Amino acid sequence: MWGGRFASSPDTLMEAINASIDFDQRLYAQDIRGSKAHAAMLADMKLITADDNAAIQNGLGAILKEIETGQFEVSRSLEDIHMNIEARLTELIGDPAGRLHTARSRNDQVATDFKLWVRDQIDVTVEQIAQLQSALVAQAETGVDFVMPGFTHLQSAQPVTFGHHMLAYVEMLERDKGRFVDARRRLNENPLGAAALAGTSFNIDRNRTSDALGFDRPTANSLDSVSDRDFVLETLNAASITTIHLSRFAEELVLWSSAQFQFVTLSDKFTTGSSIMPQKRNPDAAELIRAKTGRIFAAQTALQTVMKGLPLAYSKDMQEDKEVTFDALDTLELALLAMTGMAQDLTPNPDALRKAAGSGFSTATDLADWLVRTLNMPFRQAHHATGQLVALAENRNCGLEDLSLQDMQSVEAGITKDVFTVLGLDNSVDSRKSYGGTAPENVRVQIARWKGLLT
């Protein structure tokens, strides 16, 4: 490839460390697409002939078929997918292949191919997130009236509905989609034509290739064009936050499916057994999603470390951007598919949910609120009185609703029998009608909204 300057071949170790074909061959479709657009632009601008362009287009089409049918042979000595395709094109069409590289460098070629690949993967990821959201909305509809404990510090706090809990993850995932969509919008500028780093002296039209490749516009600075990997970092950041949300839900599924909670049952499709304990049903899919978070975090950290000290413009260090990105986004895709399968497949246990919701004096806040509304008591005073009643119920080993009116009045004389209307679980969740609250009627409205958005 650069034999005119060098008198001998690279050492085999140099070839081993330098070659990227083992992983960047995944960019073949984007590379061929970019090359076709570049050749068409060169022909439009009279920089190559129409016959040369036709030969290039046909040759690249033939190579695409060879790759997709497993007939394409790659060579590590040619380093990467870009040079492998160019070499094969030369074998197929001869001299016109040598004109394809006019007014471009591997630097802008690689940046363009990788942007196209990341953009394609973002589109896949956004669709997969939407599928997971739909599965969670379906579960929310099933459990819209199921009462369960809401936790803070993993301690029973206030009753909520199962549907409300499911929709919390739908909201998180919507923000995740937004981050990917925003990253896609920002990356959608075309580096092709920036050449090695300084642009080109050929009279090219970068708007033509931008339009052909679906970019909004060409990049405005050639130095930045070939040295930018912000688009990968942003995408990995979005992936990291998404996998945090997946990991949090995975953790809850691990807890909820345990014998101690029994909130949900996971089917045989997403659990495994034990080699020694025949009774076990292990939530391995959820555990692996929780663990794979580390791989995605590591990818972002690795690329940040690569990029942090690089002067402008391109350095070979940047070849390390692809393996970690491929692995991270493959991992995210698998995690999303597995989580969607579990979300579709899990069965909530309303009896266990309700029993747990009634423990831990979870309606204590309702009692304090009643004291404020009915007796015009300052909230801090109501909080103190309610705490005394909780202590009394705890000493008697009963719930707040099991205390007698006389017991209540021994702490606060103004309490009336109406207080018992707020102490039941259903009364508690039904009362939470503020926008965003857990009341079933609120949840039904949100379910309808999400169904419309996700259709």
Catalytic positions, written as ranges: 153, 274
172 vs 117: CA distance, rounded Å = 25
- The separation between CA 362 and the C-alpha centre of its own chain, rounded to angstroms, equals 34
Contact 247, 293 (CB under 8 A): yes
Work out the number of other CB atoms within 10 angstroms of the CB of residue 207: 14
Amino acid letter, 2: W
106 vs 109: CA distance, rounded Å = 5
| Beta-bridge partner residues of 147 | 161
